[in-house]
Structure 1
Amino acid sequence: MQRNAFLIVILFFNLHLFGQNSKLAPSGLMCDLMRVNRDGGVIIYNKTPAFSWLLSSEVTKQSAYQVLVSDNLQLLNQDQGNIWNSGKVSGSKSAGIIFSGSALKPATSYYWKVKVWDGRNIQGRYAEPAVFKTGKIMAEYHNPSYQLEVTGTQPVKFKLRDKIYLADFGKDAFGQMKLELSSDIGGDTVVMRIGELLDVNGAIDRKPPGTIRYAQYTIVLKKGTHVYQPEIFKDGFNTKPAAIKMPEHIGEVTPFRYCEISGYALPLKKSALTRLAVHYPFDEGNSSFHSSDATLNAIWDLCKYSIKATSFLGLYVDGDRERIPYEADAYINQLSHYAVDKEFTIARNTHEYLITHPTWPTEWNLQSVLMAWNDYLYTDDLRSVAHFYPDLQAKTLIGLRDSTGLISTLNGKLTNEVKASIHRGTGNLKDIVDWPLTTETDGFVFTKYNAVVNAFHYRALVIMEKLAAALGRSADEAMYHQQAAEVKLAFQKMFFDAERGIFVDGMGTDHASLHANAFALALGLVDPAQQQKVVGFIESRGMACSVYGSQFLLDGIYDAGDADYGLSLLTSKTDRSWFNMLRVGSTITLEAWDNKYKPNQDWNHAWGAAPANIISRKLMGIEPLSPGWASFTVKPQIGRLTSASIVLPTIKGAIKCSYIQTSRSFDIAIEVPGNTSAEIHLPIKVGKRFEVILDGQHVKTVMHGARALVSNVGSGKHKLSIRSLF
């Protein structure tokens, strides 16, 4: 009996230990930011790839890891890494782990796995093996990419009216049509029309405004039943040399939501029509958002889908009219893509493409530095920054600085040498502020020294200081710190109107636009004592900027703490709003607020999708504090909302967070991913005594501005409440 009891205890202990080890087993293995698995790996080209993995939210902290890489799966299953055995490496880093084994051979499959130790030095099980394949040619640095995907969908609505079949696919997409049609005789013709917009009669608009797409195709039927896939017409404008081209194996695509079929003699079933939508791999389940405001929910859905739909070329482009990458578009696209999917390669590839293929606006070249910081902050992978570091230094445009302490493209400093350093060739730079100039710059007065340009210059220097520090370049770090401080002093001296308490557009003008003030606020140039008047002026101007400018307007407003005004802009129903995009019938964000503000606009511009990242970063207040989300902040700014919840993908795993707000309390339920920690800033009622409860226990907090700060909330599921005491 005693022996049986002893065996039961041993069995229980072993089962408990197995359960603990199972929780410690990593998952979600990625190589060079690509998702991999045992059955089908991805192709990588780096001689020294980087690895990352996820840990369960029940794992508070990783204290060490061990990576094994083998060219033989059987050896790996025997825990032998004949290509690389990292040994036990102390540290919490679980992203951007650089391979350091025997030289990888081209065109070879490699298998790898990882195990970790937790904060108590308990060893976990190895992850399930993953595979990656090397390309035929290996490089010191080369970012990989996925193949484009083609998704077949059938109409969500289908009807026959006046002998014309109308198929509605529910949402716009870049794609082609595939039809299964029959003919008893052969030689008869069918007309297929596809388009993005319906006219007032409910038919596809044959003459849509701007660059809203419409096309008509004639199909000559063969006898019997056959599948037809009309070849999409090439557009002369968006296939110019600077445009990104569709891969030949897919062929040309065009954006459309609707398809009409006329002249078909037989009954036509909905199942006979398939739209083949092309997009970069996208996992719909990686993100979600819901709040007590139906308009806000619809806008988030619009923006999330826009990120997926506009990825059809494998790089971020400005829309269908040109199909050219632009830095300003890519910056918004990058942040918004991070907010809706755990995908980093298309953002990095676009950013790196633009480093060597820059566009003409001065400010947009500066945004390459901002994108480099985002790439590192969200991935904890420094290789791109290290590889392009000299280019990023040039992209600060420090070569345009003169004795004023500011930069200008009109001071004689824009030499061929400066142009070459930023890969502009002989092309000039020109200040842009916003676009279109005629309707979206709030009357901005362009002068030799431009406040918006220099705001971006300042921010680029601040970021270069951080990147230099991350690379261990201490001399550069100190230099950029000094340069940023000097630019801020010059900016304040030259552009701040002390009498009015706001910033003017440039030297030599007293005109003050929304842009001069909103960009200064968003990019860190407004001192605390100046903030009230600057914010007041910004709010007096309304949405006097483009869909692009709204990114920085909202960043600044939320950073200044005016959640109510931020929410009012997000949910506005004027003609300068995201609701208006839905109202006019688009399912992808527009290039401009309305056709009247840009008559040639297209209906598929992801630079209009700022709410995707503003909602997660500012309204829900969830942003990385340290690279790779090792720590992050939670700072709710939900305004009048009574509830809001989000699933936010990160390289460490999904952050799941929900808020419930009443007149007396604010409740947070959050799941912090494994191997991360959160700093939670709880809103307080001014002048009210309060208590904070974390997981059923009263906790002491530190005041951080007008918020109660709870630091170092570790991995796992937590509930926090702040309640007013009367």
Structure 2
Amino acid sequence: MTGRPHPGGTDRWRASWITDPAFAGLAPIERRMKELEMTKEQPGGPEERYSARHMLVRREFELETLPGEAWLDITADDYYKLYVNGAYVGQGPAQSGFDRYWFNSYEIADLLVAGANCIAVHVYYHGPVSRSYNSADLRQGLIAQLTTDRTPLLGTDRRWRWKTADEFTRGERIGYNTQFAEPIDFRRKAVGWKTAGYDDSAWSEPAEHPGPDYSLHPQPTPVVQTYEVAPRQVSRLGPGHYLLDFGHELTGQLKLAMQGSPGSQVELRCGEELEPGGRVRWEMRCNCAYREVCTLSGGRDELEQYDYKAFRYAEIIAGPGASVDESSFAAVVRHYPYDPDAHRFVASDGRLQAIWDICANAVRYGTQEHYTDCPSREKGQYLGDNTVIMHTHLYLTGDTRMTAKALRDTASTASICPGLIAVTPGHFMQEIADYSLQWPMQIWTHYMHSGDLALLRELLPAVRGMLAHFERYARADGLLEQVADKWNLVDWPDNLRDGYDFSLTKPVGPGCHNLINAFYYGALRHTRMIEAELGADTSGLDAQLAKVRSSFRSAFLLEREQLFADAEGSSHASLHANMLPLLFGMEEEAERPAIVALLRRKRLACGVYMAYLLLQALAAAGEREAVHELIVCEDAHSWQTMLREGATACFEAWSKDSKWNTSLCHPWASAPIPLIVEAVIGLEIVEPGWKKAHLNPRLPAELEAFELELTIATGRLRLRYENGRMDVTAPPGTAIESSSPIVRVLADE
């Protein structure tokens, strides 16, 4: 079942926020602040006292006749899972600030019965400051309202019944305060609480919410998709001891049934890979420890975990007096709705095919209620990661709702700092200058795919505010110097900066360096494109662009080498210091061969995130053969290395051991997908919303045949290449132009 706004929306709530009585009367804590002002967690503080709290609430009601339609609007802080008459309905909301809190709407008429009905909700409050939840602010609770045939029937109030989910005992923290392990004691579980007729007489009244400071709005994206998958392989390692292989990385929870004497235990271990001896590596290299123990009730106990993990393998160990039902083994997978038929790519070049597939998997499982940098250690949406992820997601799905939400998520942080926060949602207030300056480029990418002019207009004030913030650091010549209120990242991990010759302390010290100014120029350039599209006067930006470009060249150009240096006074020309000037057109034509030669020589001497910008720079310079060669190369730094190491989703770094805490599902490494489409195949959007596209293939000899189908703003676009001929079928509303003799544009049937 999917959540969507019901007809007419919700203009006025006739429900009250209800809360765990432990939170009643607590004053909310303000967590939105600049990074340098962020307070650290204190032992015994609110983050520790009020963390990993599971609240159950339920409401029974009678229906004499069944309604024609029934809409349930619901949201919770931090998160809910909703059931009607025992059936799972959905979960959410997407995390956001309380000043614009999302609610979900579900049409539940088909779940209702004549007579007694039950709405049951499992609410979770996370507690610590993290990237995964907007928590640690002592706001906790639930609001829900059922409307039948457009008449409010009931809403949350003190007539609902409340108790804690006592079977969940707080386990060890996982990742960067990302989640808690969930050791479950089935002896303490309220069995049957989701259905009508359950005896809740021992339950209590919930408390009223301490303050009406929430601004509720329909969630602009659908709720996450959930479904069950069986393991691809089950191996018995010993009596009551099983190894499950789901075949590839996924995101979700284990599901199984177990039984045994009261107090007997079953141990669960999950991981992304196996140890050399064939056991699950549950103490994962990404610094997540996925090990939990279930204590059995004496009857048949069915595992129902709350939070999700990123894993491929699971190990199940039944202790003395316990057993597990092998037929019940499954994973409940969850991610943002993803139609695997929304795109199709089949290539004769197995290297391209395999790379496409691992990148698609990472984006599929790494996109939850928001884009995540990884669905394991952090579960956070990083602004710079989105440069790569959203571009890939648009090609894979054609769904522009998530990209629009991500852009608005970033805009919402302007109230904290006009220069924007790098992680949103979540209350981990990290600031990265490089990332903020990529935001206008992301807005333009979304616009070209969506044609959404209204969103350009909506976001432009925040874009202008962001630029104004950075202009505080501008010298008389227009270059930025010592942008000290935000991290100057360059690349990550720091050993993949190609010897970048500038001290990147936090906060950064004195001096003027290349990369921050190249990104600044790129931000100005894309802002000028946005302004022009909206019909604004761009003369001021034109003058500013000319000034910054001239000053950049004066400060960083090594004239003899015809390369750009890393910083003023440096003679070192890194890969990073040259890819962005090439991408943004800051070089002169005579300098281009030297820059391209440097990029070709240094190859992928960068992190996987900056590899996207490197490939884009080579494509912008017309070096499309080099783009293909780097995508499929066999270097140590390559997607082929990931595949050699068994990747089923692209990694956080080039290899498992090239970073101290490598996640094996990290969608910021998915650069090949947009580059295969745009540089290898040669498909380029010319008019926003796919009204017009150019197709100028320059295919490598190894790519003898392929089929590419994409869902775009106007419908379905199909390309088929074999025997030296490329046939293209575009939907009505998209004009395909090509000067290539191998391209034949067919009429859409």
TM tier, shorter chain?
0.5 to 0.7
- Whichever residue aligns with residue 385 of structure 1, its letter is L
Return the match for 2:493 from 426, 436, 444: 436
- Whichever residue aligns with residue 265 of structure 2, its letter is T
Question: What is the rounded CA distance, in whole Å, between the counterparts of 2:339 and 2:501 in structure 1?
Answer: 41
8 Å contact kept, 2:611–2:671: yes
Q: Deviations over 1:276-324 (max 9, x none)?
A: 1110111110112122221221110011111110112434345532333
Structure 2 residues not aligned, in runs of 5+: 12-67, 70-103, 108-149, 156-212, 414-420, 423-430, 504-509
The corresponding residue for 1:716 is: 748
8 Å contact kept, 2:608–2:669: yes
| Aligned pairs (5 A) from 1:60-459 | 144-163=220-239, 164-183=241-260, 185-211=261-287, 213-229=288-304, 231=305, 251-263=306-318, 270-357=326-413, 358-359=421-422, 360-396=431-467, 397-410=470-483, 428-446=485-503, 448-459=511-522
Distance change (3 Å), C-alpha of 1:257 and 1:108: closer
Question: What is the rounded CA distance, in whole Å, between the counterparts of 1:206 and 1:296 in structure 2?
Answer: 31
Shift of 1:41: 6.1
**Is 2:725 the partner of 1:667?**
yes
- Whichever residue aligns with residue 310 of structure 2, its letter is P
- Whichever residue aligns with residue 309 of structure 1, its letter is Y
8 Å contact kept, 1:291–1:644: yes
Shift of 1:440: 3.1
The corresponding residue for 1:122 is: none
TM-score, reference length from structure 2: 0.65
8 Å contact kept, 1:409–1:430: no
Shift of 1:525: 1.9
The corresponding residue for 2:619 is: 558
1:645 counterpart SS class: strand
8 Å contact kept, 1:434–1:441: no
Distance change (3 Å), C-alpha of 1:261 and 1:342: same
Shift of 1:108: 13
| Aligned pairs (5 A) from 1:580-659 | 580-640=641-701, 641-659=703-721
The corresponding residue for 1:525 is: 586
The corresponding residue for 2:737 is: 679
8 Å contact kept, 1:43–1:144: no
Distance change (3 Å), C-alpha of 1:694 and 1:275: closer
2:353 counterpart SS class: helix
Shift of 1:356: 3.4
Question: What is the rounded CA distance, in whole Å, between the counterparts of 1:647 and 1:609 in structure 2?
Answer: 18
Question: What is the rounded CA distance, in whole Å, between the counterparts of 2:458 and 2:243 in structure 1?
Answer: 52
Distance change (3 Å), C-alpha of 1:667 and 1:44: farther
Question: What is the rounded CA distance, in whole Å, between the counterparts of 1:469 and 1:588 in structure 2?
Answer: 39
Q: Deviations over 1:119-147 (max 9, x none)?
A: xxxxxxxxxxxxxx9x9999999871111
1:443 counterpart SS class: coil
Shift of 1:270: 4.8
8 Å contact kept, 2:309–2:375: no
Distance change (3 Å), C-alpha of 1:364 and 1:433: same
8 Å contact kept, 1:459–1:524: no
1:448 counterpart SS class: coil
Question: What is the rounded CA distance, in whole Å, between the counterparts of 1:715 and 1:381 in structure 2?
Answer: 26
Q: Deviations over 1:449-476 (max 9, x none)?
A: 2222222222212211221122222x2x
8 Å contact kept, 2:221–2:402: yes
The corresponding residue for 2:546 is: 485
Question: What is the rounded CA distance, in whole Å, between the counterparts of 2:714 and 2:472 in structure 1?
Answer: 38
| Aligned pairs (5 A) from 1:563-578 | 563-578=624-639
Question: What is the rounded CA distance, in whole Å, between the counterparts of 2:692 and 2:326 in structure 1?
Answer: 50
Question: What is the rounded CA distance, in whole Å, between the counterparts of 1:576 and 1:46 in structure 2?
Answer: 52
TM-score, reference length from structure 1: 0.67
The corresponding residue for 2:525 is: 462
Distance change (3 Å), C-alpha of 1:536 and 1:44: farther
The corresponding residue for 1:510 is: 571
Shift of 1:669: 1.0
Shift of 1:206: 4.3
8 Å contact kept, 2:556–2:567: yes
Question: What is the rounded CA distance, in whole Å, between the counterparts of 1:395 and 1:596 in structure 2?
Answer: 37
Distance change (3 Å), C-alpha of 1:693 and 1:307: closer
In the alignment of these two chains, the number of paired residues is 531
Distance change (3 Å), C-alpha of 1:369 and 1:694: closer
8 Å contact kept, 1:589–1:606: yes
- Whichever residue aligns with residue 400 of structure 1, its letter is Y
The corresponding residue for 1:424 is: none
Question: What is the rounded CA distance, in whole Å, between the counterparts of 1:181 and 1:210 in structure 2?
Answer: 30
